Structure 1
């Protein structure tokens, strides 16, 4: 009986560590992307969005990665000192389903040290080539 208890404890610990690892990795990926989005980095967008992305914007428009990236063809990343709006993540919830993660959070838009807008965001992320990418994304502006 003692050995059975040890085995269950070890299995639970390994499962918990794997979940923590995925939660940490996806949170880091999203936060890294939000930094890149804040400085308007085309590379950050290209790296984070999967080729088969479906994005539903807060205005109700739906499009893919090609359309999203077309608006960034001439964009250049800004110097962080020139950024007016910083994006962040609050109330993060990670739900893992095998190699797929549903990533829910409240996106914040901060100007001059004050959060001016909130958006509910949900992303479906998959791990590919050692990085997490979004294959589906939904953004909804939180009403005031």
Structure 2
């Protein structure tokens, strides 16, 4: 009787130890997102928070001005001029090592890269992506990277 009880107790201990092991999750998206959120939390702030603006022309007499209002919870995009528009992209993750900001507007995901950050100007590149995973793995764009509605653009600090 004592032997059966010992085997039973030993079995419970082994099962408990196995259940408590640190196994990798099968949900890689959550693992990646959690580790990237830790990166954001450790950095405490996005280094280019503020209002950034640029003016450009969409053709003869069609002047536009774009505003990016960068905050820790998201980016407000506003365009004024011949073709006005505005929306907010909620932040999912910020990776400081390559200034990679990842967010979404509804079901649409975006990655925004920043470089040449100074007190007065910044260079931004915004791209729509298929998924959060793509936003994490897309390579940092080269200086000559261009696609429809996407290229590196210089923005000035807007003091309102």
Please confirm whether the aligned pair reaches a TM-score higher than 0.5, indicating the same fold: no
Give the helix-richer structure, 1 or 2: 1
TM-score normalized with structure 2 length:
0.34
Q: Which has the larger radius of gyration?
A: 2
TM-score normalized with structure 1 length:
0.36
